[in-house]
Amino acid sequence: MAFTERRGKNSWRVHYKRPDGTWDKTSKDEYDRPFASEQAAKDWGIAQEVDIKRGVWRDPELGKLTLQDWVDQWWPAQDLALKTRRNYAYSIKKHILPFFGGRTLSSLTPIEIAQWERSIVAAGYAVNVANGARARLISILGDAVAEGLIASNPALRPRKRGRKTKVAGRSREKVWATPRQVLLLAEREAVLSDRDDEFYAVVTLAYTAMRWGELTGLDRDHVRLGSIRVDWQLVEDRGRFYRLPPKDASHRTLDVPPFLAALISEWVQLHPDQKCECAGGPPADGGEKPCQGGMPYMWLGQGAPRRGEDGKIAIERGHIRASNHDRRLWSPAVDGRYAGSRGRPGRRVLVDVRETPWPGRVLPPWPAAERGKTFVPPRGRGFWGYDIQRQHVYSWLPLLPGLTPHGLRHSHQTWMAEDRIDEKLRDERMGHASEGMRAHYTHISEGMRQQLKDALQARWERSLAERAAISLHSPVPALERLLKPYRDGTKKVHIPSVSQMIKSPLRMISEKGL
């Protein structure tokens, strides 16, 4: 039978018998709090003996392990993908251990964890960073519960509590693009980079619904006549690229419509010997080996110039870095302006359309005029020979602000829904698992695949006809060739209806370059 003894003026200690018959004593409960009274200490001891008789007793000493010590044991046992491992490591080292590392597992309480999550947002971090940090803590403490170290997980969110951020499972809608906007985006990127690579890549990304890593990880050996096999993705981490299986092991074959098969075939013929020039390096902490170079990847970025052994300067062909691509090409194309840096506002994309077809030839970004001040044209490298009074200089308006490369997957899914493509085929194309009895008994037929290819082909041809209505010429060589039938009169241009113009007036103005 448990009994108590006084320890000082307002302190009590309880003795109770453990399962092995030995006596144990403690002056604190499982949350590391001193007993407030003799009765509280005795009740706690009796509760331990009751749990022992029921066979559900958990040694309270286990919960006195610090979170830092538990993470040191827990982390090596985790089998995580490279990107997931980096996300976990960031949350743990940046937010969790600095705040709770020295605390015992049993001392953590739900209220202080909720306050900690809010303090991350108050410190200037995004809400998703705070949510991710708490999600990592939930996983860590959840495994501590499974190991019997603590009785419950204090990081779990109480249900139906707090401010509502979602209604009926809906969050803020992802920005998606129409086929016409995809074509204009691809053209803008090619104009900004002054090469065709981006035109082919963006069109392929939109009409196959591949993930960004799957696009950059596509090599010529996986391109077939009328189909693309997705078996790999490139994951960028700490300046190196790793060739890994696709997300959730979503290996799949993508049906390609005729126009895209022709574009990809044309691209391969233009770059038959294109290979990456990666230098390899040591494996990551999870054993993943970086790209060793010499692989025939379809899409490569234009790296910095380097001098070879023969003394000649060559451009190193490396993989496309997502951050560089977003800053230099994607954001200016969708927003119509370059992103600002170091507190400076972004500058609009300026183009000269005097001798170059719409959307023009990109000029160096000029500083914006200020109200009440005389505008002084900039001088220096890149500006010589330009007279703003005589040049046909325009600025791009936003095309589709907020669109991301992942938004093109949303676009593709939306197109398939509009074209009433079977859900089973839609899931396969997106790399998602189909669930339910309907998915179990439904099989993908050749007729379904042909329906999808026909629908995508029709969307592409309509977008070309709409682009021809804006201008019959393009500074992008690939698109200039595609517009030739419209210049010859073989095909007719398509002018969007008034209702379409009313629904998106800003987009129409942006596309016309006014």
**179-195 burial, b if ≥16 CB within 10 A, otherwise e?**
bbbbbbbbbbbbbbbee
How much is the pLDDT for 489? 87
Query: What average pLDDT does range 156-175 have in this prediction?
Result: 65
Query: What average pLDDT does range 74-81 have in this prediction?
Result: 89
Which residue from 146, 180, 149 is spatially nearest to 69, judged by alpha carbons?
Answer: 149
Among 20-29, 149-158, 212-221, 433-442, name the one with the lowest average pLDDT: 20-29
Which residue from 30, 22, 27, 65 is spatially nearest to 47, judged by alpha carbons?
Answer: 30
| pLDDT above 70 (res 324) | yes
Residue 25 shares a structural domain with residue 78: no
Are the beta carbons of 278 and 318 closer than 8 angstroms?
A: yes
**Within a domain: 100:** yes
**Within a domain: 33:** yes
pLDDT tens, position by position, 476-513: 999 999 999 999 988 888 776 645 544 443 333 333 33
Average confidence score pLDDT of the chain: 83
How much is the pLDDT for 94? 94
Are the beta carbons of 425 and 449 closer than 8 angstroms?
A: yes
Place of tokens 């003026």: 9
| pLDDT above 80 (res 3) | no
How is residue 105 written in tokens?
């597992």
Tell me how far apart the alpha carbons of residues 33 and 73 are, in angstroms, rounded to a whole number. Answer: 26
Of 146, 170, 203, which marks where a domain is finished? 146
Please give the residue that has the higher pLDDT: either 341 or 240: 240
Residue 37 shares a structural domain with residue 98: no
Residue 44 shares a structural domain with residue 77: no
**Within a domain: 47:** yes
Among 235-249, 310-324, 369-383, 495-509, name the one with the lowest average pLDDT: 495-509
How much is the pLDDT for 72? 94
Residue 107 shares a structural domain with residue 37: no
pLDDT tens, position by position, 84-104: 898 999 999 999 999 999 998
pLDDT tens, position by position, 184-209: 999 999 999 988 899 999 999 999 99
How much is the pLDDT for 501? 46
Tell me how far apart the alpha carbons of residues 387 and 195 are, in angstroms, rounded to a whole number. Answer: 26
pLDDT tens, position by position, 41-65: 887 778 777 777 776 666 666 778 8
How much is the pLDDT for 511? 39
Most confident listed range (167-181, 241-255, 334-348, 434-448): 241-255
Residue 53 shares a structural domain with residue 71: no
**Within a domain: 121:** yes
**Within a domain: 210:** no
Residue 21 shares a structural domain with residue 72: no
Burial of 106 (0-12, 13-18, 19+ CB in 10 A): buried
How much is the pLDDT for 512? 38
Among 110-124, 281-295, 447-461, name the one with the lowest average pLDDT: 281-295
How is residue 496 written in tokens?
């969007």
Residue 86 shares a structural domain with residue 123: yes
Q: What is the percentage of the chain residues whose pLDDT exceeds 90? A: 44
Q: What is the percentage of the chain residues whose pLDDT exceeds 70? A: 84
Of the pLDDT bands very low, low, confident and very high (cuts 50, 70, 90), residue 147 is confident
CATH of the domain at 142: 1.10.150
**120-138 burial, b if ≥16 CB within 10 A, otherwise e?**
beeeeeeeebbebbbbbbb
pLDDT tens, position by position, 166-180: 544 455 678 999 999
Of 146, 176, 204, which marks where a domain is finished? 146
Residue 71 shares a structural domain with residue 45: no
How is residue 454 written in tokens?
């026909």
Among 144-158, 352-366, 474-488, 491-505, name the one with the lowest average pLDDT: 491-505
**Within a domain: 418:** no
pLDDT tens, position by position, 393-431: 888 999 999 999 999 999 999 999 999 999 999 999 999
Query: What average pLDDT does range 152-156 have in this prediction?
Result: 90
How many domains in the chain?
2
Please give the residue that has the higher pLDDT: either 345 or 157: 157
Residue 51 shares a structural domain with residue 94: no
Residue 71 shares a structural domain with residue 104: yes
What's the domain range around 77?
Answer: 67-146
**Within a domain: 314:** no
Residue 34 shares a structural domain with residue 77: no
pTM of the model: 0.78
How much is the pLDDT for 454? 96
Please give the residue that has the higher pLDDT: either 256 or 311: 256
How is residue 166 written in tokens?
């979602």
**Within a domain: 99:** yes
